Structure 1
Amino acid sequence: MTEHPMASPLPNILGLSGVGPHENKRARKLGRAFEGPMIFVAMWIVFEWYLQSKAERPIAVTAFTDWFIWGFFLLETVVLTIAVDNKKRYLVNNWANIVIVAAGLPVLWETLPHAGGLRVLRLLAIFIVLMNTSGTFRKIMGRNHLGPTLMVSFVIIVIAGTVMAAIDPNVETPLDGIWWAWVTVTTVGYGDIVPGSTAGRLFGSFLILMGIGLFAMLTASFSSFFMQQDEKDLIREEKHNTRRLTEMATRIEALEGKLDRLIRYSEQVEQRRLEELNKKR
């Protein structure tokens, strides 16, 4: 993965910064080369999960691809670590890659069933790749502190869901609480989980108000970004028109100079002709 100048701080926080812009050209080129295959791996991970969820027994193909995906993450980490100049800084800034390789060994999933949840880390890495390869997404996340705002929003949703699971009897597990907090903050409100206690309803009211303010801020950030883009386009067009007008003015001045020289030349010719006529008389 390649770190971009306009990237949000989210990859840095998650330990998936990729190859920094300060690294050598070869390392940056290798980082970009891994992005395309990584997107393909992301698509296969999602498809693999679908196959496993529908199959009644393990599929041999998914067992093979688990090893292939793990090997791909290992290959990327090893190759880029060798290619970069500052290996220590690269490994520190990409500590999540090391965790994915160490904890994502398919053997662990076979011996420790609960370790299968570590597969989520692979999708996290894929999300960062997709985010970094999207220029528009990088620009949006880099403006108006949108990246940190989304991170804070995620933390609030997790905390709120956990608290709701503790104070309200209708919310049985923290995961149910997080789902309730998510649909509440987004003002969707499916109604599948509804607070039943007074404390739960008061807390839900507070979260609804927070969600309104949060999404108003996010909407303002997105609107500001697109307005700035339109403003940049107008400024660019004005500069282009100004440059064309300047060129036209320069050409007009040059034409005026040529006309003045032609007029002076014609006057000189006419004056010489008159002088010759006078001499003949």
Structure 2
Amino acid sequence: MKHQTAQGRWEQYSQRPLLALAVGFAVAYAVPIVDHSAGHSLTSACTVVEWVVWGAFATDYLVRVGLAPRRKEFVRTHWIDLCAVVLPMLQPLRLLRMVSTLILVGRRARMAPQIQLTTYVAGAVVGLLMFGSLAVLSVERESPNGNIRTLGDAVWWSFTTMTTVGYGDHAPTTGLGRMIAVGLMLAGIALLGVVTANIATWFIARFEKDDVEERRQTEAIEALTEEVRALRAEVAALREPSGTP
């Protein structure tokens, strides 16, 4: 507690600015999709913001590597972060930048001990729902056979997909849209598993606490019973008449 490494201090101080940049990325990603009639200048500005945010996360990763006591071990144990940083460079798609930013934000958020599991799960649900809706709308709106044309359709589809209900009234028709659907389904199942495991852990901890309390009370009762028996034996011994030799 008294000594904190340079890497730990950097992660603590940079967490909030990076989360603020992630919010800026969300706005920049959403504006051209929601406002389909946005001009070229606005779209270009949003693209610049997206790359700046990705560059900030990439710089953060490089700084953390430089400050890590054992760099090879850091790279080996944080390979997801590395893939998220390299992914947009391989093919400059907006969707890849969105995926990499989600991964990096999630990895940094999990490092914060003050963020409780419930808050993290709720934020993950909202984030996946929002980005899933925007992503599928961006790739399905221009599809000739697509039926996801509005933001409302996209949000409804994302919600039913994440909950694995799948009414079938809206469905992606493009390959990229179906890849998004697979990602949302897997994420929904994973989040449901986290919530279920958290509830089960709470019940188990509660039952164990009750068992410990019950055992403590049982031991106390047994100890009192033994004391009562000993006192009875002493009283009985005192009541016995003393014999003469």
When the two structures are superposed, what TM-score results if normalisation uses the length of structure 2?
Answer: 0.50
Point out which structure has higher relative CO (alpha carbons under 8 A, 6+ apart): 1
| Larger of the two Rg values belongs to structure | 1
